[in-house]
């Protein structure tokens, strides 16, 4: 020990200073969030330099009263130098080397190491100075007893912090729920408290003793592994609609396309979890259960799920439940006026569909009466490639993507965008062929949907309409092929002539019309 002290006395200034500068440079480069530890080491180093200088000055003073201070000053100098060495070792080990190999420890781990390092350094320096350790231990025990009585709460929190570190029940990055239902992410575990950041950008300081004494829920974690967290979204539908009908409609919407923040596996599901009791309400209680992938975005994700629920119920013509005693009266707009306004909206939508231009005004009115309003939420799949559905969609609000599956696999490629006013799905309605692509809503979308029954009577009464419609379908089909296959004008013209004949034959077959020769 004397040799070590002699070395520090001779080279202490330069050796510790150089080591401090090197470690500070490494921390500034690789662990900027640990700079406060360097500040503590620098503070101790300044004390070391000051007491070392004081020792040199006192060594040259020959007055006995002043010279007597030399030994205590030397003792403090040795202690501070030993503390600086312990700090530097802890920084290099816990803040630089271990993170470099992928081992992340809590701040309290390094603090415990430094505490014991300070303790052993103190014992070593005192023994080298000839101080009786028995008296020091006795005095320390008395002082510790007095402090323990006066600082019971603080010591309980400190013991709690050590216990949390040792048993590993809570880790940095865990999402926890406190007894008062506050949820937040653990960002720091210190000696006295644990720091939790909530979704509201608030910081909650929880004494460690409380974490040990209360029931704490760790969200999205089971058997030490981070898993998905299940969420519930509730809605109500009255008794006019069966649970099977409601569950089928909402489930189809939730699984029709990915929802940001919702896990695909396990998929979301819908349950009817209760009926009204005691005659208080006239509806059934439903819930969507989904698994959240990002615990920081629970409310926005639930909002996206609610948008899917709303659009699914609207498409199925299933209204959300209202109190049974509520009466809606429209004095400004009688029912006849409202029906007239809705018909005008549908007629305007039909006017934008080139397919219906050959129809007379009366025929367009007939078609408009068969239109069904179908909204879709963001990222919901409107039609799916390969599906057989005899519907034409008229896009009146919003924007959709046309996606084709590559080589029949799950991977898709965006081949076109459609923006209102537009239409799609005409081949499925007129010829019954499977869908050629996925149509996915990019924004919230409003459509009108028409099935084959809306045109069947017209085509049977006026078969010549089929010929005009076949020309429109053939032209659109050839235009799409021209883009995909890079056809020139001559090739397009030849293919269009053949496509018109083929398309008319398919329409006549699908609608059961008498075969005619196209002019």
Give the per-residue pLDDT at 268: 93
359 and 442 both lie in a single domain:
yes
Looking at 209, 225, 241, the residue that finishes a domain is 225
Q: Is the pLDDT of residue 517 over 60?
A: no
Q: How confident is the model at residue 152 (pLDDT cuts 50, 70, 90)?
A: very low
List of long-range contacts for 433-436, beta carbons under 8 Å, 24+ apart = 433/388, 433/506, 434/385, 434/386, 434/387, 434/388, 435/383, 435/384, 435/385, 435/386, 435/387, 435/388, 435/389, 436/385, 436/404
131 and 256 both lie in a single domain:
no
Q: What is the CATH number of the domain that holds 179?
A: 2.30.30.60
Largest alpha-carbon pair distance within the chain? 131
- Tokens standing for residue 305: 């799920």
Looking at 90, 115, 150, the residue that finishes a domain is 150
Give the per-residue pLDDT at 250: 93
Of these ranges, 220-224, 287-291, 387-391, 392-396, the one predicted with the greatest mean pLDDT is: 287-291
368 and 463 both lie in a single domain:
yes
Domain, as residue range, for 252: 228-315
Which range, of 104-113, 201-210, 314-323, 410-419, averages the lowest pLDDT? 104-113
200 and 237 both lie in a single domain:
no
Q: Is the pLDDT of residue 151 over 80?
A: no
Q: Is the pLDDT of residue 91 over 70?
A: yes
Asked, for residue 157, whether it belongs to a domain, the answer is: no
182 and 276 both lie in a single domain:
no
Asked, for residue 420, whether it belongs to a domain, the answer is: yes
Give the per-residue pLDDT at 306: 94
Looking at 252, 280, 315, the residue that finishes a domain is 315
94 and 193 both lie in a single domain:
no
Give the per-residue pLDDT at 82: 80
Q: What is the pTM of this model?
A: 0.59
Give the per-residue pLDDT at 156: 55
Which range, of 7-16, 126-135, 149-158, 286-295, averages the lowest pLDDT? 149-158
Which range, of 188-192, 294-298, 301-305, averages the lowest pLDDT? 188-192
pLDDT tens track for 235-278: 999 888 888 889 999 999 998 888 999 998 889 999 998 887 66
Which range, of 45-49, 149-153, 375-379, averages the lowest pLDDT? 149-153
Q: Is the pLDDT of residue 516 over 80?
A: no
Q: How confident is the model at residue 518 (pLDDT cuts 50, 70, 90)?
A: very low
Give the per-residue pLDDT at 22: 83
Do strands 399-405 and 438-441 pair parallel, antiparallel, or not at all (unpaired)? antiparallel
DSSP state of 457: H
Matching residue, tokens 């939508």: 349
Q: How confident is the model at residue 145 (pLDDT cuts 50, 70, 90)?
A: very low
Which range, of 120-129, 226-235, 377-386, averages the lowest pLDDT? 120-129
* Alpha-helix residue ranges (DSSP H) falling in 170-291: 208-213, 243-254
pLDDT tens track for 457-504: 888 888 888 888 888 888 877 777 666 666 667 776 777 777 778 888
3-state secondary structure of 420: coil
Q: Is the pLDDT of residue 328 over 80?
A: no
Of these ranges, 81-85, 397-401, 432-436, the one predicted with the greatest mean pLDDT is: 397-401
208 and 111 both lie in a single domain:
no
Q: Is the pLDDT of residue 165 over 70?
A: no
Q: Which of 396, 414, 440 is nearest to 256 (CA)?
A: 440
Based on the structure, what is the number of domains in the chain?
4
105 and 182 both lie in a single domain:
no
Matching residue, tokens 């496509």: 499
Q: Which of 52, 42, 53 is nearest to 83 (CA)?
A: 42
Give the per-residue pLDDT at 290: 94
197 and 233 both lie in a single domain:
no
Give the per-residue pLDDT at 166: 59
pLDDT tens track for 24-63: 888 888 777 777 777 878 877 787 777 777 777 666 665 5
Return the higher-pLDDT residue of 95 and 334.
95
Mean pLDDT of 320-346: 70
Q: What is the CATH number of the domain that holds 283?
A: 3.30.70.100
111 and 242 both lie in a single domain:
no
HEC readout, 380-414: CEEECCCCCCCEEEEEEECEEEEEEEHHHCCCEEE
Total residues found in the chain within this entry: 519
Q: How confident is the model at residue 224 (pLDDT cuts 50, 70, 90)?
A: low
Mean pLDDT of 325-329: 54
Asked, for residue 156, whether it belongs to a domain, the answer is: no
CA 40 to chain centre: 39
Q: Is the pLDDT of residue 303 over 90?
A: yes
Give the per-residue pLDDT at 73: 72
Q: Is 421 exposed, middle or buried (0-12, 13-18, 19+ CB in 10 A)?
A: middle
Mean pLDDT of 392-399: 90
293 and 239 both lie in a single domain:
yes
Asked, for residue 162, whether it belongs to a domain, the answer is: no
Q: Is the pLDDT of residue 281 over 80?
A: no
DSSP secondary structure letters along 147-202: HHHHTHHHHHHHHHHHHHHHH--S-TT-EEE-TTS-EEEEEEE-SSEEEEEETTS-
Give the per-residue pLDDT at 411: 80
DSSP secondary structure letters along 63-117: -HHHHTTHHHHHHHHHHHHHHHHHHHHHIIIIIIIHHHTT----HHHHHHHHHHH
Asked, for residue 212, whether it belongs to a domain, the answer is: yes
Q: Mean pLDDT over all residues of the chain?
A: 78
Give the per-residue pLDDT at 1: 45
Asked, for residue 112, whether it belongs to a domain, the answer is: yes
Q: Which of 507, 505, 508, 482 is nearest to 494 (CA)?
A: 482
Give the per-residue pLDDT at 143: 47
Matching residue, tokens 């883009």: 483
Count the helices and strands in the chain (H runs, E runs): 17, 18
C-alpha–C-alpha distance, residues 375 and 420, integer Å: 13
Q: How confident is the model at residue 331 (pLDDT cuts 50, 70, 90)?
A: low
Asked, for residue 234, whether it belongs to a domain, the answer is: yes
Asked, for residue 519, whether it belongs to a domain, the answer is: no
344 and 265 both lie in a single domain:
no
């Amino acid at each position: 020990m004397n040799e070590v002290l002699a070395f520090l006395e001779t080279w202490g200034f330069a050796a510790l200073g150089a080591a401090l500068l090197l470690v500070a440079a490494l921390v500034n480069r690789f662990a900027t969030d640990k700079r406060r530890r360097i500040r503590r080491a620098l503070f101790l180093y300044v004390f070391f330099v000051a007491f070392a200088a004081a020792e040199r000055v006192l060594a040259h003073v020959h007055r006995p009263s002043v010279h007597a201070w030399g030994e205590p000053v030397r003792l403090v100098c040795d202690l501070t130098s030993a503390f600086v060495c312990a700090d530097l070792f802890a920084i290099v080990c816990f803040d630089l080397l271990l993170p470099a190999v992928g081992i992340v420890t809590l701040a309290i781990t390094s603090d415990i190491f430094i505490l014991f390092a300070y303790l052993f350094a103190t014992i070593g320096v005192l023994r080298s100075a000839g101080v009786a350790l028995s008296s020091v231990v006795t005095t320390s025990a008395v002082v510790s007893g007095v402090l323990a009585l006066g600082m019971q709460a603080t010591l309980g929190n400190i013991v709690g912090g050590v216990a949390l570190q040792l048993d590993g029940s809570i880790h940095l990055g865990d999402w926890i729920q406190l007894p008062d239902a506050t949820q937040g992410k653990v960002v720091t575990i210190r000696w006295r408290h644990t720091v939790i950041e909530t979704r509201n950008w608030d910081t909650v300081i929880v004494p460690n003793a409380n974490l040990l004494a209360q029931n704490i829920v760790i969200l999205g974690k089971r058997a030490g592994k981070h898993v998905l967290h299940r969420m519930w979204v509730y809605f109500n539908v009255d008794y006019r609609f069966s649970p099977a009908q409601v569950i089928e409609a909402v489930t189809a919407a939730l699984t029709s396309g990915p929802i940001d923040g919702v896990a695909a596996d396990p998929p979301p599901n819908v349950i009817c979890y209760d009926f009204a009791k005691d005659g208080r309400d006239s509806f059934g209680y439903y819930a969507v259960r989904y698994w959240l992938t990002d615990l920081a975005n629970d409310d926005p994700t639930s909002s996206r799920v609610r948008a899917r629920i709303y659009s699914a119920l609207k498409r199925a013509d299933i209204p959300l439940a209202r109190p049974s005693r509520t009466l809606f009266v429209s004095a400004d707009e009688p029912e006849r006026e409202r029906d007239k306004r809705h018909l005008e909206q549908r007629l305007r939508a039909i006017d934008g569909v080139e397919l219906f231009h050959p129809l007379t005004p009366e025929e367009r009115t007939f078609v408009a009466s068969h239109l069904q309003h179908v909204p879709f939420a963001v990222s919901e799949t409107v039609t799916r490639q390969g599906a057989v559905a005899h519907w034409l969609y008229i896009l009146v609000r919003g924007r959709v993507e046309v996606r084709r599956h590559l080589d029949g696999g799950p991977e898709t490629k965006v081949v076109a965008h459609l923006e209102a006013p537009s239409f799609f799905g005409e081949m499925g309605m007129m010829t019954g062929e499977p869908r050629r692509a996925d149509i996915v809503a990019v924004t919230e979308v409003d459509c009108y949907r028409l099935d084959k029954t809306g045109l069947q009577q017209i085509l049977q009464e006026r078969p010549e309409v089929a010929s005009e419609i076949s020309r429109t379908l053939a032209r659109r089909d050839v235009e799409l092929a021209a883009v995909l296959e890079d056809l020139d004008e001559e090739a397009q013209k030849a293919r269009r002539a053949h496509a018109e004949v083929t398309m008319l034959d398919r329409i006549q077959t699908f609608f059961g019309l008498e075969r005619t020769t196209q002019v």
